[in-house]
Structure 1
Amino acid sequence: MKILLISDAWQPQINGVVRTLENTRVELAAMGHEVLVIGPDRFHSVPMPGYREIPIALRPAGRLARLIESYGPTCIHVATEGPLGMAARRWCLRHEVSFTSSYHTRFPEYLRVRAPVPTGWTYRWLRRFHAAATKTLVRSRTQMKLLAAHGFSNLGVWPGGVDIHLFRPRRERVLDLPRPIALYAGRVAPEKSLEAFLSVDFPGSKVVVGDGPARNTLQKRFPGAHFLGYQHGEALARHIASSDVFVFPSRTDTLGLVMLEAMACGVPVAAFPVPGPADLVLHGVSGCLDNDLAAAMQGALELDRSDCRVFASEFSWRRCTQTFLDQLQPANIHPSNIPDPLAAANA
């Protein structure tokens, strides 16, 4: 099949959505499918306000339409609800073409953290956006139940995966700091609730791997923590594997692939018992979930690291991609649905 993935989140961005799409593309190609990803890198763009590392495509409709029509996809998946996602949705509706969509982030809650926008308003808009898709894929069963309660329909689960060859236990320790070491990796932004982690009274060292709009403020507030910036690939895996507990303080993430990466490295997770962590962490085995984050961190330190590795090994990208593939729908693009631009110009 010729599969088209359209996403406002794409390289060189660093986040769970991009990692999911990257690995999905690799696995689909290995399974014999042709895959094209259309991201903001193909368009004129501006930095997203408050997140300068995220480019926003400017007026993408015309070029996007030409890219879709020249590719002639068998299936179309709209991965995000940004400018590219909205333009793709409009094109599909205009030409009566079927598409699937996905819901990766709890955007209403993210927005509410940063601005006084009622979550009900945002959910209403998102519900309308996804109602046009033949199926909307979400990251977990908990998220599916939450969205169904908000009136979403035609939902399916597209779980996360982990590269267990890259993320693995390692003998060498790249972090030469007092132990135990508690580490967070990801975007450093208000919705990640990093204050909950950094303010915990912890006997060892606290490490933050990543960057984002809240970094400067947090570094000033918590000078005892170690902020290392973004790490990639092998460097990221080595840093995670060097820690003793991985802390995931977010209350708004839909999944949190980095937790799987930590568990694959043999590092137990400490998190709040909320959607995302509750769908990935096996409490008392691969991590600890507690409304008292300090208690969760202490409990995680007492777990067997080998159990974390065994648990994470069940989440392969091949299995994740097969689940995605099983839920795609034919685009049903017919030449009669798309007007001939030359004919229109000569009419």
Structure 2
Amino acid sequence: MKIALVTDAWAPQVNGVVRTLQSVRAEIERRGHEVLVVSPDCFSSIPCPTYPEIRLALAGTRSVARMIDQFDAEAVHIATEGPLGMAARRYCLRRKRPFTTAYHTQFPDYLARRTGLPSAMFWPFIRWFHGPSSGVMVATDRVADQLRANGITRLRRWSRGVDFTCFSPVVTPPDIFFDMPRPIQLYVGRVAVEKNIEAFLSNDHPGTKVVVGDGPALAGLKVRFPEACFLGKQSGAELAACYAGADVFVFPSRTDTFGLVMIEALACGTPVAAYPVAGPLDVLDDVSGAMDERLEEAIARALQLKREDCLARAQKFSWDASAKQFLDALEPEDTAPAMTQLYAHAA
């Protein structure tokens, strides 16, 4: 099958969406499928306001349509709700061709955090964008329930995986970790307001707090929390070493749809502390993570867990299974009459 993957999030961005798309692309190409990635690096782009690491493609519907048509795509998947996703959506609706979408990011919650407006104001856009999709791919049951409650149906399960050739308990920790007061509490991810990192850095549990990642909130957090260790972007073996060397991985976000970093940490044998919200509630079990509204309590309990149990939990996730779910979701369910009506009204 020839699959056009349209995404506003791609390298050199480093985040869970990009790692997911890259990993699944590799798996489905390994199965013999062809994948065209339509991403910002294919076009001129401008930095996203307040988040310059993210590039916004300057591409219209014609440019995106030309790429998809020249590739002779048999399936179109729209991964993001950005400019390229909008252009691909218009193309598909005008051509009356089915397409799938994915709900990777809790945009209503993210925008609420950034604007101070209620998240309910942003749900109409999410309903409008995903309404014509023949299958909205979603990572967890709780996020699926949230989407249904907000009027989004045709949901298809698409979980995540972890690369066990990279993330492993036997990786040697960074040298800097050996001189740090224990326990080492680790955060990995975008350093942005919606990730709630200040809750992690201000928790009262003793030890050393380490932040791996970059983003628009980094400079401010360095000023507010000078006692924390900020290591910047890490990837591959260096990132795995950070996971393996930590005593606990802290996931303070309340707005993620999954939290790929949690299973990467578990694959390195590191237990997870988090809030009891969507994402952690779906990924963790009682022997791999601890959840509590008091982050200090979750950290204290997570530190008592066995590292071998964490690894066993991570092994429940694989990119092979994720790729199979993705490919299955590309096959439209029997919704032809309803889709005809949607195409007539959604454009």
Q: TM-score with structure 1 length normalisation?
A: 0.93
In 1, Cα distance between equivalents of 2:329 and 2:151 = 20
Look up the match of 1:75: 75
Look up the match of 1:179: 182
In 2, Cα distance between equivalents of 1:191 and 1:139 = 19
**Structure 1 residue 160 displacement after superposition:** 1.0
**Structure 1 residue 59 displacement after superposition:** 3.3
1:204 is matched with which residue: 191, 207, 211?
207
**Structure 1 residue 225 displacement after superposition:** 0.3
1:280 is matched with which residue: 280, 283, 286?
283
Amino acid at match of 1:100: T
**Structure 1 residue 165 displacement after superposition:** 1.8
Alignment CA distance shift 1:171-1:328 (3 Å): closer
In 2, Cα distance between equivalents of 1:108 and 1:220 = 29
Whether the 8 Å CA contact 1:273–1:289 is kept in 2: the answer is yes
In 2, Cα distance between equivalents of 1:238 and 1:253 = 24
Whether 1:264 and 2:267 are equivalent positions in the alignment is: yes
What is the correspondence of 1:15-164 to structure 2 with a 5 Å cutoff? 15-164=15-164
Look up the match of 2:226: 223
Look up the match of 2:345: none
Q: Identity of aligned pairs, percent?
A: 52
> Aligned to 1:56, what secondary structure does the other structure show?
strand
Look up the match of 1:2: 2
Quote the RMSD (CA, aligned, Å).
1.0
**Structure 1 residue 35 displacement after superposition:** 1.0
In 1, Cα distance between equivalents of 2:173 and 2:9 = 32
> Aligned to 2:239, what secondary structure does the other structure show?
helix
Q: Deviations over 1:81-105 (max 9, x none)?
A: 1000000000000111110110101
Q: Deviations over 1:24-81 (max 9, x none)?
A: 1100011111111110000110011111110000133221111011011111100011
**Structure 1 residue 171 displacement after superposition:** 5.5
In 1, Cα distance between equivalents of 2:121 and 2:153 = 18
Amino acid at match of 2:29: A
Look up the match of 2:328: 326
Alignment CA distance shift 1:77-1:171 (3 Å): closer
Q: TM-score with structure 2 length normalisation?
A: 0.93
Whether the 8 Å CA contact 1:189–1:212 is kept in 2: the answer is yes
1:192 is matched with which residue: 188, 192, 195?
195
Gaps of at least 5 residues in structure 2 are: 333-347
Whether the 8 Å CA contact 2:274–2:290 is kept in 1: the answer is yes
**Structure 1 residue 307 displacement after superposition:** 0.3
Whether the 8 Å CA contact 2:171–2:241 is kept in 1: the answer is no
In 2, Cα distance between equivalents of 1:71 and 1:329 = 19
In 2, Cα distance between equivalents of 1:14 and 1:138 = 20
Whether the 8 Å CA contact 2:192–2:215 is kept in 1: the answer is yes
The structure 1 segments of at least 4 consecutive aligned residues displaced by more than 4 Å after TM superposition are none
Amino acid at match of 1:109: D
Whether the 8 Å CA contact 1:188–1:212 is kept in 2: the answer is yes
**Structure 1 residue 7 displacement after superposition:** 0.4
Look up the match of 2:239: 236
Amino acid at match of 2:315: S
Number of residue equivalences: 329
> Aligned to 1:208, what secondary structure does the other structure show?
strand
Look up the match of 2:343: none
Whether the 8 Å CA contact 1:7–1:39 is kept in 2: the answer is yes
Q: Deviations over 1:109-162 (max 9, x none)?
A: 000001033322211111011011111011111100011001111111111111
Whether the 8 Å CA contact 1:244–1:267 is kept in 2: the answer is yes
Q: Which moved more, 1:265-274 or 1:157-166?
A: 157-166
In 2, Cα distance between equivalents of 1:326 and 1:21 = 16
In 2, Cα distance between equivalents of 1:282 and 1:60 = 45
Gaps of at least 5 residues in structure 1 are: 331-347
Look up the match of 2:342: none
